[in-house]
Amino acid sequence: NKTIILKSRPKGIPTLDNFDFKEEEKPDPNEGEVLLKTKYVSVDPYLRGRMRDEESYIEPFEIDKPIQSGIVAEVVESKNDSFKKGDYVSGMLEWKEFQTSNGKQLQKVDETKAPLSAYQGVLGLTGLTAYLGLLNIGEPKEGETVLVSGASGAVGSIVGQIAKIKGCKAVGIAGSDEKLTTMKEKFGFDEGINYKTTSDMKQAIKEACPNGVDVYFDNVGGEILDATLANINRHGRVINCGAISLYNKKEQPTGPRLETTIVKKSIKMQGFIVRDFGEKFEEAIAQLGKWLEEDKLTYSETIVEGFDNIPKAFIDLFEGKNEGKMIVKVS
Ligand code: NDP
């Protein structure tokens, strides 16, 4: 039974040396527990934050202890009346091939309604982040321009589609021309900006958003946020979802640097953790599921095969090797 532990805290971009594999006994479930076999592992940018030893909304990973993330697993043995052998569940679980759980934090997932991997993506925290962040903080109105960074990623690609469903113009920023093509052809974005080949982001945003930016869904922070604020409209809304461009920086810049813009244009900037909206999860998942059924919403996944490749898949997020949700298929 393989397990992956955090061997050392990354300095800058994580490397394979920060992780280690351990072999341990396959556990036996006690009364009230289930034995789980890992099927799909979600790797996410926010895990980088948990590798730092600092106070946050969630405790840091400990050195020499297993890493955790969202996992879809199969119940292979059950001593808990709420679950039977063959059920599929999702939850925050450890990077192990097999593990036991008392079931309290597990949600059952239905393979007949959607592929199991989708419960880590569009029907999981990814879809919830996009939906609840955009609609509750961004409050997009028909005819407005919604700009999204990290737009070809898991959250960003869903945000753009919801913006279109709400009758907005959707403009996406991503790191390759291939990604821009997919964003437009598959997800319906109106315009795309490749931030890696664009020398003047402020100008590029101005050209792609001739009516200015009403809502900015920020997944990356840093300079792209600055360039967006230079193009934001009066009463614009900025959803601070993530700041991946800063996650591997040894020194964090201070800010916000465009304070005069924020004041003069009466901007709302608001950060959030998806769990802040916990009471709206059920309604949000129902709506996302309905849009999927109606073909109003679609999604991409980058599926990496094999338990041993979990650390590499995580590291690859910072090089933009994924389109849509990055998921590791274990068995
Ligand atoms: P993604 O699927 O978007 O994967 C990360 C993407 O970020 C990569 O594909 C890459 O695409 C882009 N990227 C990597 N490095 C940089 C950089 N230096 N500058 C700009 N872009 C970069 O991940 P998720 O959709 O899972 O997460 C998106 C964001 O949302 C993250 O910031 C994450 O932390 C945040 N998040 C926040 C939550 C919350 O509750 N607030 C919940 C879930 C996620 P490219 O090729 O375009 O560079």
Express as a percent the part of the chain with pLDDT over 70: 100
Separation of CA 244 and ligand 1 centre (Å): 5
Per-residue pLDDT reduced to its tens digit, 268-301? 999 999 999 999 999 999 999 999 999 999 999 9
Contacts of 319 (CB under 8 A, 6+ apart): none
Cα distance between residue 186 and residue 204, in whole Å: 22
Per-residue pLDDT reduced to its tens digit, 60-111? 999 999 999 999 999 999 999 999 999 999 999 999 999 999 999 999 999 9
**Phi/psi-derived region of residue 84, left when phi > 0, alpha when psi is between -120 and 50, beta in every other case:** beta
Is the pLDDT reported for residue 259 higher than 90? no
Separation of CA 221 and ligand 1 centre (Å): 10
Do residues 113 and 177 share a domain? no
The CATH number that applies at residue 32 is 3.90.180.10
pLDDT at residue number 52? 93
Cα distance between residue 132 and residue 153, in whole Å: 17
pLDDT at residue number 253? 82
pLDDT at residue number 186? 97
Output the average pLDDT for the chain: 96
Tell the residue nearest (CA) to atom 31 of ligand 1: 242
Do residues 225 and 240 share a domain? yes
Count of domains forming the chain:
2
Residue 330 backbone phi and psi in degrees, to 5: -95, -45
Q: Is residue 281 part of a domain?
A: no
Q: Is residue 20 part of a domain?
A: yes
Separation of CA 175 and ligand 1 centre (Å): 11
Is the pLDDT reported for residue 12 higher than 80? yes
For the chain, percent helix, then strand, then coil, each to nearest 5? Answer: 30, 30, 40
Do residues 146 and 169 share a domain? yes
pLDDT at residue number 275? 92
164: enclosing H helix or E strand: helix 154-165
Of the pLDDT bands very low, low, confident and very high (cuts 50, 70, 90), residue 19 is very high
The CATH number that applies at residue 160 is 3.40.50.720
CA–chain centroid gap for 52, Å, is 19
Separation of CA 160 and ligand 1 centre (Å): 14
pLDDT at residue number 30? 97
Does ligand 1 come within 6 angstroms of the Cβ of 239? no
Separation of CA 84 and ligand 1 centre (Å): 36
Q: Is residue 284 part of a domain?
A: no
Of the pLDDT bands very low, low, confident and very high (cuts 50, 70, 90), residue 166 is very high
Beta bridge partners of 94: 68
Q: Is residue 258 part of a domain?
A: yes
Q: Is residue 283 part of a domain?
A: no
Do residues 140 and 111 share a domain? no
Q: 0.90 exceeded by the pTM?
A: yes
Do residues 111 and 129 share a domain? no
Tell the residue nearest (CA) to atom 35 of ligand 1: 242
Does ligand 1 come within 6 angstroms of the Cβ of 318? yes
Per-residue pLDDT reduced to its tens digit, 115-146? 999 999 999 999 999 999 999 999 999 999 99
- Atom nearest to 240 CA in ligand 1: 41
Cα distance between residue 331 and residue 318, in whole Å: 25
Separation of CA 316 and ligand 1 centre (Å): 11
Does ligand 1 come within 6 angstroms of the Cβ of 269? no
Of the pLDDT bands very low, low, confident and very high (cuts 50, 70, 90), residue 55 is confident
Do residues 150 and 253 share a domain? yes
Of the pLDDT bands very low, low, confident and very high (cuts 50, 70, 90), residue 255 is confident
Beta bridge partners of 100: 35
Separation of CA 152 and ligand 1 centre (Å): 9
Q: Is residue 111 part of a domain?
A: yes
Does ligand 1 come within 6 angstroms of the Cβ of 153? yes
Q: For residue 224, give its domain range.
A: 125-275
Q: Is residue 290 part of a domain?
A: no
Do residues 49 and 175 share a domain? no
Do residues 258 and 135 share a domain? yes
pLDDT at residue number 261? 87
Query: How is residue 129 annotated by DSSP?
Result: H
Angstrom CA distances, 161 to 168, 218, 298, stand at 10, 15, 8
Is the pLDDT reported for residue 258 higher than 80? no
Cα distance between residue 121 and residue 115, in whole Å: 10
State which amino acid sits at residue 79: K
- Between 193 and 331, name the one with better pLDDT: 193
pLDDT at residue number 256? 72
Do residues 139 and 225 share a domain? yes
pLDDT at residue number 331? 77
Q: Is residue 293 part of a domain?
A: no
Do residues 61 and 98 share a domain? yes
Model-level ipTM above the cut of 0.95 = yes
Mean pLDDT of 35-59: 94
Cα distance between residue 154 and residue 274, in whole Å: 14
- Parallel, antiparallel or unpaired: strands 301-305 and 107-109: unpaired
Do residues 161 and 252 share a domain? yes
CA–chain centroid gap for 273, Å, is 11
pLDDT at residue number 31? 97
pLDDT at residue number 252? 81
Give the closest residue to 151 by CA, choosing from 244, 277, 53, 237: 244
Do residues 193 and 263 share a domain? yes
Structure tokens that stand for 275 in this block: 């769990």
Is 220 within 8 Å of 149 (Cβ atoms)?
yes
Q: Of 58, 217, 219, which is best to mutate to test ligand 1, by the most ligand atoms within 8 angstroms of its C-beta?
A: 219
Cα distance between residue 11 and residue 119, in whole Å: 31
Express as a percent the part of the chain with pLDDT over 90: 93
Helices 281-293 and 125-132, interaxial angle, to 10°?
100
